[in-house]
Amino acid sequence: MKKFFTKLKILLKRPIAIIIVGKGKETAKEAISQSLKPYFKTGKKVLIFETNLKKDEKFFQFLIKKSSLPILLVTHFSDPHPDKDFFASEKKQTNKVRKLAKLLPFWGYLILNFDDETVREIKDETNLKELTFGFQEGADFRATEIKLNLGTTFKVCYQGNLVPVWLDKLFGKEQIYSALAATSVGVVLGLNLVEISQALKNYHSLPGRMRLIKGIKNSWILDDAESASVFSMIEALEILGKIQSAQRKIAVLGDIVGIGKYTIEAHEAIGEKVAEFCDLLFTFGERAKFIAQGAALKGMEAEKIFQFENFEKGTEKLKKEIKEGDLILVDGSRELEMERVVKALEDVDKS
């Protein structure tokens, strides 16, 4: 019934429709929603959807055909490399997106992540107006001059213009991609770069997505607890190392699930990064013991490494160890429910 009324609203009002697919679609949707909110009636004149296209394909085909301006935005299907600005997904991951892109009318827009070479190639199968975003030269909207403090500053380069963007208490490539996606959509809808940059100051993202929040004892929590891959955890640790304002840096890490036969090696490699950037390490889970092992092999002292299977015991010990000015990264696969650690450490009165 809900879908029926949504379709009826689309037929009657013919809104602008923005469809977001790929990894990071949730944060991209949030950034787009927040950046358009001061200028458009989102939810009425502008509809924003994020989907994995595993179901409701027919609905999105209908949406593309009946909206006044359909915009298909494709983020990426592989995890961005922490140290490189290019990567490629498997082509089969984009099959449904390619099919949808071919339905876009000539007045529609295709917005693509330039850094994911497989996503970038989608434009070769259409004759649409397309825009790209990313870190590499050649992207229409390119992020440059990235700096970290209590948030991320960077400049968006578009058609020779440079405009600074401030992401308050947000970090990582995923957040920058989301801001670039929002900038691309904003320009399609007639906003200028300054207007979009101003609106992004109010973008606060979603819990567990490289977001800085206030912790107990005047500490800070870098909350990346929503999910983790090897690349994303390494990136989070490198960002932790670059933030200069902390007294000590503590990594609280859970298992990374789904790596397969490289589980031990991958977790040990993460442990080596911990030894490089962190003062203390707390691990949760069976696989995370190899993070501790990697950190120890890299020279981290045994008294600075704490391993737990029991959540309650681990968080209680962590609470006792935290001091004023500490910066605590909380990260791990969704299956580990590391958000429980965040909730236990968060200062609910000051965050």
Query: Stretch 128-133: mean pLDDT, rounded?
Result: 93
Query: Stretch 301-312: mean pLDDT, rounded?
Result: 96
Domain count, the chain: 2
Domain range enclosing 117: 2-200
Q: What is the pLDDT of residue 60?
A: 92
Same-domain check for residues 138 and 47: yes
Q: In this predicted model, which residue has the larger pLDDT, 305 or 42?
A: 305
Residue 351 has pLDDT above 50, yes or no: no
Same-domain check for residues 256 and 170: no
94: phi > 0 → left, psi -120 to 50 → alpha, else beta; which?
Answer: alpha
Q: What is the pLDDT of residue 8?
A: 67
Same-domain check for residues 37 and 171: yes
Residue 4 has pLDDT above 90, yes or no: no
Note whether residue 350 is domain-resident: no
Question: Per-residue pLDDT tens for 190-229?
Answer: 999 999 999 999 999 999 999 999 999 999 999 999 999 9
Same-domain check for residues 262 and 296: yes
DSSP string for residues in 173-191: HHHHHHHHHHHHHHHHTT-
Q: What is the pLDDT of residue 9?
A: 66
Q: How confident is the model at residue 347 (pLDDT cuts 50, 70, 90)?
A: confident
Note whether residue 304 is domain-resident: yes
What's the Rg (C-alpha) of the chain? 21
Q: Tell me what the pLDDT averaged over the chain comes to.
A: 94
For the chain, the residue count is: 351
Domain edge (last residue) among 134, 168, 200: 200
CA 241/CA 275 separation, integer angstroms:
11
CA 105/CA 125 separation, integer angstroms:
14
Question: Per-residue pLDDT tens for 322-336?
Answer: 999 999 999 999 999
Query: Stretch 18-44: mean pLDDT, rounded?
Result: 95
Note whether residue 205 is domain-resident: no
Closest CA to 143 of 132, 152, 135, 151: 135
Residue 350 has pLDDT above 70, yes or no: no
Residue 279 has pLDDT above 70, yes or no: yes
Query: Stretch 11-29: mean pLDDT, rounded?
Result: 92
Q: What is the pLDDT of residue 2?
A: 57
Please provide residue 309's backbone torsions phi and psi, each rounded to the nearest 5 degrees. Answer: -100, -30
Q: How confident is the model at residue 56 (pLDDT cuts 50, 70, 90)?
A: confident
Q: How confident is the model at residue 236 (pLDDT cuts 50, 70, 90)?
A: very high
Q: Catalogue the E-assigned strands of 207-268.
A: 211-215, 219-224, 249-254
Residue 113 has pLDDT above 50, yes or no: yes
Task: Please check whether residue 68 is in contact with residue 15, taking contact to mean a CB–CB distance below 8 angstroms.
Answer: yes
Domain edge (last residue) among 169, 200, 231: 200
Closest CA to 176 of 6, 24, 320: 24
Same-domain check for residues 67 and 156: yes
Same-domain check for residues 233 and 196: no
Output the six-digit token pair for 232: 């994303």
Task: Please check whether residue 113 is in contact with residue 78, taking contact to mean a CB–CB distance below 8 angstroms.
Answer: no
Stated pTM of the model: 0.94
Residue found by looking up tokens 């990374």 in the block: 256
Residue 52's H or E segment, with its range, is none
Burial 222-253 (b: 16+ CB within 10 A, else e): bbbbbbbbbbbbbbbbebbbebeebebbbbbb
Same-domain check for residues 156 and 284: no
